[in-house]
Structure 1
């Protein structure tokens, strides 16, 4: 039951783990915090400017969205980091009887609470992203409709809004290009990586990276890949797929 409940969660979170690594999270929080600080400073400095549109309100909303994004990213990073530490501790412990009812109930409760927090954070992030897109359109309209009069009446607010709008466009283009480059790299390099893994897997356990010794007890999955018995038992408690080829032991031939 624990494998079934965690399999779907692990699959979805592995796809986004790179986005919540420490460098990416630090960079994300840093530039969004910088937007908030710059917005607050400029709103104070330009208190005497009188724009002909509600561009000041738009900058306030933009800074608020950046602040909300920082909070949500930090919450999700803390949650993932806590779960990763707990999984490492479970992996480092000796094999325990999976039929222990009290332990199963405790682990089921942890999985349920974690899934609830994940769903809440993701819903909030989705709402914030959609609101940011709509707010970008509003800001673009106000900047264009303000025209030269806005530039003359509130030049610093005008250029701050233009920089924020341009950054969002640049970031969207950068993400699309990066995704394309990663897809091309995977298509070119993945066959070589798989070939190397298959060659190594025949001589050692790819979970603990230790060579097989004479008399060692091994366990083979339905995909015919074999591992140390204790290693694969601990792995399957957290992940329902083959560590090497991602064969899904719950869904047969379907890979994830």
Structure 2
């Protein structure tokens, strides 16, 4: 008697190991990597970074579309500003005997003044982003807020945007001045004011990261992500734009329990005995699902896939 295909495959795999450590381990590793990448592409931080990159490189219409005006980001900015103010005040108060060669206390004090001036701008962004988000439900008020028909609101927005631009210019110029004062090797006075120098270096390093954020986003989303997607054959960008299938679409797709090839529906190929998502053979009474393109997969595997992107993993045909 000829043994079942599953038994013969398991016997052959155990008797003859695949080169390079076995194909089963490689398949499991590939499936694990694919799941990890899929989870990362659906993570909130990755979707937020994509929104930031699209906002910085696309048309900026209204405040509600700005990801930097989201409640989570505004709360993060507020926490960073308050932490900087507390840290700078504590370091300056605990180092009265330090005598730096450059007026670092003046630099720190002006930096703190900029942080204080950032607070009303932060509150204004919160108020106007909330108003824009709430006005989307009302067509008239949404049109007034999004297109600037309200003259008073437009004037205030113009003034606040100008103030924000001047504040950003001040921070940029003060950043350059701080680099000149802190990294001046001619005087070498780090030993005379170690706490103040350490504080200034920390603030300069933080601002350097903030200023290089657009370049880091470019490297991540335009270089690293396409390379990973090409290596794995998985489009991370398409998985993060909300193209997943709904519960109603999944419920409308046919499903059944796997049986022997003789009992399989006629429109299914008889040599299609394994799921191309998990690379495992179908077993008796396992639930499978058929897509409109007639391709069949494990129920759990294809449902997870379709919730990420609503197209067939093989032929890329979209669900209707």
**In the TM superposition, what whole-angstrom CA distance separates every residue of 1:99-141 from its partner, at most 9, and x where no partner exists?**
xxxxx99x99962222222211111111111111111111111
TM-score with structure 1 length normalisation? Answer: 0.58
CA distance in structure 2 between the partners assigned to 1:115 and 1:67 by the alignment: 24
Determine if the alignment matches structure 1 residue 144 to structure 2 residue 183: yes
1:128 partner SS: helix
Q: 1:118 to 1:43 in 2, by over 3 A?
A: same
**Partners of 1:11 and 1:171 in 2: how far apart?**
20
Q: Residues 13-52 of structure 1: matches in 2 within 5 Å?
A: 13=62, 16-52=65-101
Q: Distance in 2 between matches of 1:141 and 1:189?
A: 42
Shift of 1:73: 2.0
- Matched residue pairs, number? 180
Runs of 4+ in 1 over 3 A off after TM superposition: 107-110, 146-149, 179-194
Structure 1 stretches lacking a partner, 5+ long: 1-9, 97-103, 201-256
Structure 2 match to 1:62: 111
The answer as to whether partners of 2:101 and 2:187 remain within 8 angstroms in 1 is no
Pair 145,193 (structure 1): closer, same or farther in 2 beyond 3 Å: closer
Q: Which residue of 2 aligns with 1:173?
A: 212
1:144 Cα deviation from its structure 2 partner:
2.1
Conserved in 2, the CA contact under 8 Å of 1:59 and 1:161? yes
Question: By percentage of residues, which structure has more helix?
Answer: 1
Partner of 2:134: 85
Q: Tell me whether 1:133 sits opposite 2:167 in the alignment.
A: no
The worse-fitting range, judged by mean Cα deviation, of 77-86 and 51-60 is 77-86
CA distance in 2, matches of 1:149, 1:190: 49
| CA drift at 1:147 | 5.6
- TM-score, normalising length from structure 2? 0.47
Equivalent-residue separation in structure 1 for 2:148 and 2:215 (angstroms): 38
Point out the structure with max Rg over C-alpha: 2
Residue 12 of structure 1 aligns to a residue whose secondary structure is: coil
Hey, what does 2:308 align to over in structure 1? none
1: distance between equivalents of 2:156 and 2:135?
16
Q: Does 1:157 align with 2:206?
A: no
Distance 2:90 2:186 in 1: 24
Change (3 A) 1:191 1:53: closer
User: How far off is 1:18 after superposition?
Assistant: 0.9
RMSD: 3.7
